[in-house]
Structure 1
Amino acid sequence: MSLLSKFATVGGATLVSRIFGFAREMLMASALGVGPVADAFNLAFRFPNLFRRLFAEGAFNAAFIPLFSRSLEEEGEEGARRFASEVFSTLFTVLTGLTVLAMIFMPFLVKTIIAPGLAVCMDDPSAGGAVISCDDRYAITVAFSRIMFPYLACMSLMAMVSGILNAFRRFFAAAAAPTLLNFILIGVIGYALHIGADKATIGFMMSWGVLVAGIAQLAMVVVAMRLAGFGVGLRRPRWTKGLKRLLILAGPAALIGGITQINLFVGQAIASFKPGAVSILQYADRPYQLPLGMVGVAIGVVLLPELSRALKAGRMREAQHTQNRSLEFALFLTVPAAVALFLIPEPIIRVIYERGEFEPSATAAVASVLGLYALGLPAFVMIKVFSPGYFAREDTKTPMIATLISAGANIVLSLGLFWLLAERGIALATTLAGWLNAGLLFLGLYRRGLWEIDRALLKRATLVCLCSAVMGAGLIFGLAELSPWLGTGDGIHRQLPALGALVIAAMAVYFLLAFLTGAADRSQLTTLMRRRRQAAKPASRPEDE
């Protein structure tokens, strides 16, 4: 199964999840708008979601997979099962204790970590004409956080099971499981709107929906693991050599792999000082997460096992080739996406959100943030490409230092720019910190001779930038021509076809230029299509699933 084919499998499943995530955010924006209930839900959900991203896309993909793969090769399936059971039992015990403590001390966590701005906020009229005071905002944030916090435990255990599936090259179930969250929340919001629930009630219903989704996602990957012929048992936790090594690798890896979410979490905590700012950042984050999730997660999940196998076998040229082709793939999709999101954020936000409780003034605010987020999109995907170069060599110290430097820069910049540019300052700080992190990670690999840039990468990266620039010029021209159909006063029946035509035309220009100039690796794409046709045949191999 080719590298590009694996990227496509995981990226495709993630794309489906992100598309339904759009539908979820659209319904939420229509139901809650930009206000205190939306702020409370986003603040409460961000905390467990932060740990989900740290574990699912950072610590376990970076630390567990190489150790589990080594156990599988050196001790066989029985040894791998013993190691996995040790990790699962310890993780289950720790998460249970953490959840109990968090439920007890949640008011303190909200006041000091999750939303410190609520302690000094100004009363804000919203939510169905009622006035939600600072005390009310604080109370519902605590309530939502308590309901959703067990989601953290479910997602952390799911991450471990997903790591086992990825080590067996079973990528689809783990990538598709997050879609359950979107399905459940779409159903919850739709039902709440149908019965005419008020905003606070909708917030509570969504919080319970998140918890149910966490349980369903964990169940889905456990079933997939069982179908793959592997299982883990719950036993008394013991401090073993393998567990110690995992913790040594996983701590720094969690920080490195989750830097995007750490930056967003810090940004939302600072944004809690301004009513509505948290919701603005969250709504802007959704369109930005579509390409980041589709490309970044696919690379993060697939690249590490491939790189680890090549290095363990001593195939250094293959490892270098894998790294360069992964960076090509990242740039090929993220650079044009960043250009489009930077140039036409307002029509995108208007079509996605502007209806119901989401007013035109909110569209302008969210669009300005999305444009700044877009500038950092290539950087955050490149972090997913550079990090496995360290993890596959079991080096977590170097990227951890780079991550801590960029996280510190993000906090300083966010605090300074927030008072000048409000939520736009936080978005700009996140983008600058992302580029700093990507630059430090690349320099570390390059100076140690662990990354050799080949001529094909230089050529295709240059051509991708040129093709994206031409596409951007076309977007500016098309936006001017279609502006009568993309304004606030126009209905969705006019806005959506106009925006769709603009995006499709831009994609056609970019991909046509990419194929004509050689910015796209035609041989890789041809191989992918051939393998897809073979996979559709009844005789396809199990490892191609």
Structure 2
Amino acid sequence: MSTQTSADDKTSPPARKGLMGSGLMVSTMTMLSRVMGLVRDVVIATLLGAGSGADAFFVAFKIPNFLRRLFAEGAFNQAFVPVLSEYSARRAREEVRELLNATAGSLGAALALLTAVAVLAAPWLAWLFAPGFGRDPEKLALTVDMLRLTFPYLLLISLTAFAGSVLNTWGRFAVPAFTPVLLNLSLIGAALFLTPLMEVPAMALAWGVLIAGAVQLTFQVPFLARLGLLPAPWPNFAHDGVKRILKLMAPALFGVSVAQINLLLDTVLASLLAGGSVSWLYYSDRLVELPLGVFGVAIGTVILPALSRRHAEQSTAHFSAMLDWAVRMVLLLGLPAALALAVLAEPLLITLFHYGAMTEQDIHMAAMSLRAYALGLPAFMLIKVLAPGFFARQDTKTPVKVGMVAMVANMGFNLALIWPLAHAGLALATSLSAFLNAGLLAFLLRRQNVLVLQPGWGRFAAQLLGGCALMVAVLGLLVPGVAAWFDAELGWRAAWVALLVAAGAGAYFAWLGLLGLRPGHLRMGG
């Protein structure tokens, strides 16, 4: 790649837009991605169910995907965006390009080395992340073969995340938000067209992951070029900006990604439980990821660059107001989403996944872990918007301390709950530790006078809780029994789910409207 020549205004700080508008756009693109992700999972569930092939693929995909969230979309993004925002606000365009060149080159070189080591060490990695597979040599060997195809995805998707961070900083949120759709399309295509060609059908999905990484990176390159920000990668770990990013990244590895680490611990322990446990947790987690991505991640994505600009401009009051707005937004959308997932666990899982190799027992088991994960959804979302309150101020040490406390607590919860509740106990432990994490982050932001609650919280709480109670009552009255869902055809299931979602959302937002909440109350300037 080569640096593009452009006018000065292309590397100046982006124009400020309303956070609500940016958030809605990211939510829309993320919704499309998550819906395609559910289609992908329906295809996988139909072809593989919750058997050994599915378990092997989910572990082989989870390892690079976990590291992607930990490094690329977690620590790197949270360290890179504030530094890049500062450069764009205070430095000349050539200095911005030098930072991009050095960062892209250093990131690519480090990840290329890590990928080479991981491919060679695949048998040990597979055993480390799924020690229970050691009881089944064939499953472990299949996981190793898949991992050698899926791990290079980390290099490709991390460079994609780098490009996305640049685009987000310049206010181009739509392209990075749409990019995950290409992963889902690649996996769906691999499942439908490569599976019949493979001796082991699940191997087609591993090839799909590798293809997806290349497609996603290639997709973002023209948009960087259009901004004149396409880097000429050259490793330079001595560059001042790179050194600052690395310094911020080290503690951020835990601070922003505790939820992902907890989910990975669930996989490790689930591999020791009954066959299918890994898949039950995967399918339930996928449903929780839909509202988490559409609401929590979307809001967290748009506020990090905005908070970073406020910090660079020393606009303390606006910074606090923006953080308060983000907390209200995730509660407004996350709490009803969590309750709806808990009430509609079986109907959603049956409608999406009860086909082909997916059995009724698999549905019942996945519903148990889905309810446990749903309990923690508001906390997962709060972490996404509270952590940027530290990272935008280039404080990565405080979140890591909180993250370590939450991780230790999660391990204790796991040991306490895995025996009575099996896989559902692992999901419940993750939710409980997320509440601890979010609570500590909020407490510390309040103590530092960074999170300053704005007027109107009492009225907002009444609106929110009343709307949630009405929604649960409406869903409880309308939802048919579980047996009816198992017996019904796809068309009936889909129609009833659509009706239930519309009725629940209608009741919730009608209550909010009756109590005076208007769209204008949700606006926040960027």
Q: State how far apart, in whole Å, the 1-side matches of 2:295 and 2:52 are.
A: 33
Q: State how far apart, in whole Å, the 2-side matches of 1:186 and 1:510 are.
A: 34
Are 1:451 and 2:457 matched, yes or no?
A: no
Instruction: Give secondary structure in 2 for the equivalent of 1:487.
Output: helix
Q: State how far apart, in whole Å, the 2-side matches of 1:483 and 1:419 are.
A: 29
Please show how residues 273-288 of structure 1 align to structure 2 within 5 Å. Answer: 273-274=272-273, 275-288=275-288
Please show how residues 299-338 of structure 1 align to structure 2 within 5 Å. Answer: 299-338=299-338
* Pairwise CA distance, 1:488: 1.3
Q: State how far apart, in whole Å, the 1-side matches of 2:151 and 2:188 are.
A: 20
Q: Which residue of 2 aligns with 1:416?
A: 416
Please show how residues 26-105 of structure 1 align to structure 2 within 5 Å. Answer: 26-105=42-121
* Pairwise CA distance, 1:524: 4.5
Q: Which residue of 2 aligns with 1:224?
A: 223
Q: Which residue of 2 aligns with 1:511?
A: 509
Q: State how far apart, in whole Å, the 2-side matches of 1:175 and 1:397 are.
A: 28
Are 1:483 and 2:481 matched, yes or no?
A: yes
Q: State how far apart, in whole Å, the 1-side matches of 2:461 and 2:225 are.
A: 42
Q: State how far apart, in whole Å, the 2-side matches of 1:161 and 1:324 are.
A: 29
- Do the aligned residues in 2 keep the contact of 1:486 with 1:498 (CA within 8 Å)? no
- Do the aligned residues in 2 keep the contact of 1:324 with 1:457 (CA within 8 Å)? no
Read off the aligned partner of 1:87 and give its amino acid letter. Answer: T
Q: Which residue of 1 aligns with 2:14?
A: none
Q: Which residue of 2 aligns with 1:4?
A: 20
* Pairwise CA distance, 1:236: 4.2
Q: State how far apart, in whole Å, the 1-side matches of 2:448 and 2:70 are.
A: 27
After superposition, the C-alpha distances for 1:20-50 in whole angstroms (9 at most, x for unaligned) are 0000000100100111110000001001001
* Pairwise CA distance, 1:330: 0.7
Are 1:368 and 2:379 matched, yes or no?
A: no
Q: State how far apart, in whole Å, the 1-side matches of 2:122 and 2:457 are.
A: 49
- Do the aligned residues in 2 keep the contact of 1:185 with 1:206 (CA within 8 Å)? yes
- Do the aligned residues in 2 keep the contact of 1:515 with 1:522 (CA within 8 Å)? no
Q: 1:522 aligns with which of 514, 519, 523?
A: 519
* Pairwise CA distance, 1:3: 0.9
Taking a change above 3 Å as real, the CA distance of residues 95 and 57 of structure 1, as seen in their structure-2 partners, is closer
Q: State how far apart, in whole Å, the 2-side matches of 1:167 and 1:470 are.
A: 40
Q: For structure 1, which segment, 297-306 or 52-61, has the greater mean C-alpha deviation from structure 2 after superposition? A: 52-61
After superposition, the C-alpha distances for 1:268-287 in whole angstroms (9 at most, x for unaligned) are 01111122110010011111
Please show how residues 387-398 of structure 1 align to structure 2 within 5 Å. Answer: 387-398=387-398
Q: Which residue of 2 aligns with 1:499?
A: 497
- Do the aligned residues in 1 keep the contact of 2:104 with 2:235 (CA within 8 Å)? no
- Do the aligned residues in 1 keep the contact of 2:86 with 2:312 (CA within 8 Å)? no
- Do the aligned residues in 2 keep the contact of 1:185 with 1:210 (CA within 8 Å)? yes
Q: Which residue of 2 aligns with 1:115?
A: 130
Are 1:18 and 2:17 matched, yes or no?
A: no
* Pairwise CA distance, 1:485: 8.2
- Do the aligned residues in 1 keep the contact of 2:175 with 2:220 (CA within 8 Å)? yes
* Pairwise CA distance, 1:259: 2.0
* Pairwise CA distance, 1:306: 0.9
Q: State how far apart, in whole Å, the 2-side matches of 1:355 and 1:475 are.
A: 25
Q: State how far apart, in whole Å, the 1-side matches of 2:153 and 2:441 are.
A: 31
Q: State how far apart, in whole Å, the 1-side matches of 2:143 and 2:201 are.
A: 13
Read off the aligned partner of 1:492 and give its amino acid letter. Answer: L
Are 1:439 and 2:439 matched, yes or no?
A: yes
Q: State how far apart, in whole Å, the 2-side matches of 1:92 and 1:344 are.
A: 43
Q: State how far apart, in whole Å, the 2-side matches of 1:440 and 1:33 are.
A: 39
Are 1:266 and 2:265 matched, yes or no?
A: yes
Please show how residues 136-175 of structure 1 align to structure 2 within 5 Å. Answer: 136-175=138-177
- Do the aligned residues in 1 keep the contact of 2:29 with 2:174 (CA within 8 Å)? yes
Q: State how far apart, in whole Å, the 1-side matches of 2:235 and 2:285 are.
A: 41
Are 1:209 and 2:208 matched, yes or no?
A: yes
After superposition, the C-alpha distances for 1:287-319 in whole angstroms (9 at most, x for unaligned) are 110000111211221111111212222222211
Q: Which residue of 2 aligns with 1:534?
A: none
Count of residues in correspondence between the two structures: 509
- Do the aligned residues in 2 keep the contact of 1:52 with 1:156 (CA within 8 Å)? yes
Q: State how far apart, in whole Å, the 2-side matches of 1:224 and 1:434 are.
A: 36
* Pairwise CA distance, 1:395: 0.9
Q: For structure 1, which segment, 416-425 or 263-272, has the greater mean C-alpha deviation from structure 2 after superposition? A: 416-425
* Pairwise CA distance, 1:420: 2.1
Q: State how far apart, in whole Å, the 2-side matches of 1:79 and 1:515 are.
A: 49
* Pairwise CA distance, 1:429: 0.5
Read off the aligned partner of 1:522 and give its amino acid letter. Answer: P
* Pairwise CA distance, 1:75: 2.2
Taking a change above 3 Å as real, the CA distance of residues 457 and 323 of structure 1, as seen in their structure-2 partners, is farther
- Do the aligned residues in 1 keep the contact of 2:85 with 2:308 (CA within 8 Å)? no
Q: Which residue of 2 aligns with 1:472?
A: 472
* Pairwise CA distance, 1:500: 1.7
Query: Where does the alignment leave 5 or more consecutive residues of structure 2 unmatched?
Result: 1-16
Read off the aligned partner of 1:371 and give its amino acid letter. Answer: R
Instruction: Give secondary structure in 1 for the equivalent of 2:456.
Output: helix
Query: Where does the alignment leave 5 or more consecutive residues of structure 1 unmatched?
Result: 122-133, 532-543
Q: State how far apart, in whole Å, the 2-side matches of 1:337 and 1:394 are.
A: 32
After superposition, the C-alpha distances for 1:85-122 in whole angstroms (9 at most, x for unaligned) are 1111111111111111111111111112x111122x3x
Q: State how far apart, in whole Å, the 1-side matches of 2:84 and 2:491 are.
A: 52
- Do the aligned residues in 1 keep the contact of 2:60 with 2:146 (CA within 8 Å)? yes
* Pairwise CA distance, 1:344: 1.7
Instruction: Give secondary structure in 2 for the equivalent of 1:152.
Output: helix
TM score, norm. by length of structure 1: 0.90
Q: 2:186 aligns with which of 184, 187, 204?
A: 184
After superposition, the C-alpha distances for 1:404-444 in whole angstroms (9 at most, x for unaligned) are 11112112222332222111010100100110100010011
Q: Which residue of 1 aligns with 2:6?
A: none
Q: State how far apart, in whole Å, the 2-side matches of 1:154 and 1:458 are.
A: 47
Please show how residues 233-252 of structure 1 align to structure 2 within 5 Å. Answer: 233-252=232-251
* Pairwise CA distance, 1:235: 2.1
* Pairwise CA distance, 1:240: 2.5
Read off the aligned partner of 1:116 and give its amino acid letter. Answer: P
After superposition, the C-alpha distances for 1:202-257 in whole angstroms (9 at most, x for unaligned) are 21111001001011111112221112221211224342322121111112223222
Over aligned residues, Cα RMSD in angstroms?
1.8
Instruction: Give secondary structure in 2 for the equivalent of 1:201.
Output: coil
TM score, norm. by length of structure 2: 0.93
Q: Which residue of 2 aligns with 1:131?
A: none
* Pairwise CA distance, 1:467: 0.6
- Do the aligned residues in 1 keep the contact of 2:351 with 2:494 (CA within 8 Å)? yes
Read off the aligned partner of 1:264 and give its amino acid letter. Answer: L
- Do the aligned residues in 2 keep the contact of 1:57 with 1:300 (CA within 8 Å)? no
Q: State how far apart, in whole Å, the 2-side matches of 1:408 and 1:43 are.
A: 23
Q: State how far apart, in whole Å, the 1-side matches of 2:457 and 2:73 are.
A: 26
Instruction: Give secondary structure in 1 for the equivalent of 2:502.
Output: helix
Read off the aligned partner of 1:254 and give its amino acid letter. Answer: L
Instruction: Give secondary structure in 1 for the equivalent of 2:238.
Output: coil
Q: For structure 1, which segment, 428-437 or 166-175, has the greater mean C-alpha deviation from structure 2 after superposition? A: 166-175
- Do the aligned residues in 1 keep the contact of 2:271 with 2:278 (CA within 8 Å)? yes
- Do the aligned residues in 2 keep the contact of 1:52 with 1:155 (CA within 8 Å)? yes
Q: State how far apart, in whole Å, the 1-side matches of 2:482 and 2:290 are.
A: 27
Q: State how far apart, in whole Å, the 1-side matches of 2:207 and 2:367 are.
A: 30
- Do the aligned residues in 2 keep the contact of 1:154 with 1:215 (CA within 8 Å)? yes
